[in-house]
Amino acid sequence: MRVTIYGSGYVGLVTGACFAQAGNTVVCVDVDEAKVAALLRGEVPIYEPGLEALVRANARAGRLRFTTDVAAGVAHGLFQFIAVGTPPDEDGSADLRHVLDVARAIGAHMEDYRIVVDKSTVPVGTADRVRETVQEALAARGRQVDFDVVSNPEFLKEGAAIADFTKPDRIIIGSDSERATRELRRLYQPFNRNHDRILVMDPRSAELTKYAANAMLATKISFMNELAAIAERLGADIERVRVGIGSDPRIGYHFIYPGCGYGGSCFPKDVKALVHTAEQAGCEAAILRAVEAVNARQKRWLFERLAAHYGGELAGRTIAVWGLAFKPNTDDMREAPSRALIEALWASGARVRAHDPVAGGQARRLWGERADLVLCEDPYEALDGAAALAICTEWEAFRSPDFELMRARLAAPVIVDGRNLYDPEQLRAAGFRYYAVGRPPV
């Protein structure tokens, strides 16, 4: 089948590469000429395990092409996937300018039936606005062309996006058109073979499902972090509490890990957008606002523990940081807890030595060259002369380190662990002062 995807960012690129791998002919359209030129050279601008190889293989096979030519994209695909960014506006609402610009361009060039698919995460009612925008562009040309608009939200986890796309938990199609639904079933058939994962619903319900899913996951994180704060005050161990509540099948063990807060491109933006949508509709989003507040507080946890340990005297000290990305297996630093920590350390006069397996380049682009920041290729190198180690990301390489070597290279044997990676008793035996989220310090 012939597919056009507008936007060659995270969602667009993964979607395009996976559709092409299934044998479809895919054209990815992007307005960023430099990005398109890089993709044509086989250079993938984001880190995602397996994506670069997938893009290169399908580009070589002729199934995946990249262009800035919008008219060529409209002419190519029966499916017109909109996968552009929806950044938050100042009031927290999703900015739909790019989505509507694509819809306008499709209407300006469309000559026969097309299925316009909203893949971007968008507020409830966006499918209606996209339909109106395409129709207005057709009317401006004096043309009448049949088309359908469908909501088909993505559920891709950074670091596992290819597996999530090719072996999905669910494929949601928000459609009021039998024809469009039938064609999308055909398109997704290669990823829907084991059992039927397709859920068909109206577009507004599909749009809300995406926001609700991310808001629910964010809520679980903030709830566990709230419990962790209570555990710290009461002298309880949140890890034992986690196992205790997770054993209840109504709760389960998934996504109930305390930590130093959520980040990334989805949860913070989508919770804010859902709050805005709810309040615009006259609903008080009290729980969602509490989720945001708890997360903002939790991102200060690492710095507050370091400051408390040193009696507020951090100026002139060096702090080692392991992990810059907001989660493992990605280089995405958007809203990452590491950013809140490092910027607070700088404000207090401290210096930072940091290591991340893949996000060092993002850190350089974000902060540039600074005298108070050293980015290290080796995790143990980051420890040299540091008054403490702060752990922000649970990379596999950090899970079983050489504690004896760590103690030798740190200036003081202090670990502040924002991901609860280690056994406190093991750290006690190794001679460390160890702080973990929701656990008694040792």
- Give one DSSP letter per residue of 78-122, joined into a string: SEEEE-----B-TTS-B--HHHHHHHHHHHHH--S-EEEEE-S--
Edge-to-edge strand order for the sheet containing 433-436? 373-375, 351-355, 318-322, 388-391, 414-417, 433-436
Cα distances from 62 to residues 65, 157, 184, in angstroms, run 7, 27, 22
Note if 18 is an active site residue.
Answer: no
Whether 238 contacts 182, CB under 8 Å: no
Q: Pick the catalytic residue from 260, 266, 376, 392.
A: 266
3-state secondary structure of 377: coil
3-state secondary structure of 250: coil
Q: For 172, list phi and psi in degrees, rounded to 5.
A: -100, 125
Whether 390 contacts 416, CB under 8 Å: yes
For residue 148, the surrounding DSSP H or E stretch is strand 147-151
Whether 77 contacts 15, CB under 8 Å: no
CA gap 357, 379 in Å, rounded: 9
Helical axes 203-234 vs 286-298, angle rounded to 10°: 50
Which two structure tokens, joined as six digits, stand for 254?
Answer: 């998934």
3-state secondary structure of 146: coil
Cβ contacts of 132 within 8 Å, gap of 6 or more: none
Catalytic residues: 266
